[in-house]
Amino acid sequence: MGKYIKLIVNPQLKNGGCMTCQSSCQTACKTSATVSNQPCEREK
């Protein structure tokens, strides 16, 4: 954009649901986490 405001990322909300990625409760915390620390594993 311009001088004062810069777009860093506009997350692509793409269809998926392939279930390759890890379910959030199987990860470190065993409580709810933000989803953004669970990236799409298909595109790794």
Partner 1 sequence: MLKEIFEYYHLINRLEKFLLINKNSGAVYKIDPKLGEILASNLNNNYSNLFLPQEMELELRELLGEKSNLEILKESAKKLEKRTAHPKAFCLNVAHSCNLSCLYCFAEKGYREEDNQKLMSEKTARRAIDFLFAAPYPVIELDFFGGEPLLNWKAVKNSIIYAGEKTRFSGKKIKLALTTNGILLTQDICRFLNQYEVNLTLSLDGPKEVHNDLRILNNGKGSFDSSFYKIKQAVFSRNYQNYYIRGTYTKKTLNFSKAANFFIEENLENFSLEPVISKDTPWSLDFEDLPIIEQEYEILANLLVKRKKEGKPFSFYHFNLNLYNSPCIEKRLQSCGVGVEYLAITPQGEIYPCHQLTGYKEFKLGDIFQGIDIEKQEIFKKIHFLNSKDCLTCWAKIYCAGGCIANNYYFSSSLFKPPELFCALLKIRLEYALALSVE
For partner 1, the binding residues (CB under 8 A) are 1-40, 43-44
Q: Give the length of the chain.
A: 44
Give CA 43 to chain center in angstroms: 11
Smallest distance from the beta carbon of 44 to partner 1, in angstroms? 7
Smallest distance from the beta carbon of 39 to partner 1, in angstroms? 4
Smallest distance from the beta carbon of 22 to partner 1, in angstroms? 6
Q: At residue 23, what is the residue type?
A: S
Spatial separation of the C-alpha atoms in residues 9 and 26, rounded to whole Å: 27
